[in-house]
Structure 1
Amino acid sequence: MAEEDGKLVGVIGDEDTVTGFLLAGVGHRTMEGANFLVVKNDTPLSLVEETFNRLTERDDIGIVLINQHIANDIRHVIKNYTQTIPTVLEIPSKDHPYDPEADSIMQRVNLMTGGQM
Structure 2
Amino acid sequence: MAGRGKLIAVVGDEDTVTGFLLGGVGELNAQRKPNFLVVEKETSVAEIEETFRSFLTRDDIGIILINQCVAELIRHAVEAHTRSLPAVLEIPSKEHPY
Length-normalised TM-score, structure 1 = 0.79
More RCO (CA 8 Å, sep 6+): 2
Query: Once the two structures are aligned, what percentage of the paired residues are identical?
Result: 56
What does residue 76 of structure 1 align with?
76
What does residue 22 of structure 2 align with?
23
CA distance in 1, matches of 2:94, 2:4: 32
CA distance in 2, matches of 1:94, 1:62: 25
**Gapped regions of structure 2 (runs ≥ 5):** none
CA distance in 1, matches of 2:78, 2:4: 27
CA distance in 2, matches of 1:32, 1:88: 23
Aligned length: 96
Larger radius of gyration between Structure 1 and Structure 2? 1
CA distance in 2, matches of 1:47, 1:32: 18
CA distance in 1, matches of 2:83, 2:58: 12
CA distance in 1, matches of 2:4, 2:33: 19
Amino acid in the other structure paired with 1:25: G
Higher helix share: 1
CA distance in 2, matches of 1:8, 1:77: 20
Amino acid in the other structure paired with 1:20: G
Listed as ranges, the matches of 1:27-106 within 5 Å are: 27-30=26-29, 31-98=31-98
**Deviation, structure 1 residue 32:** 4.3
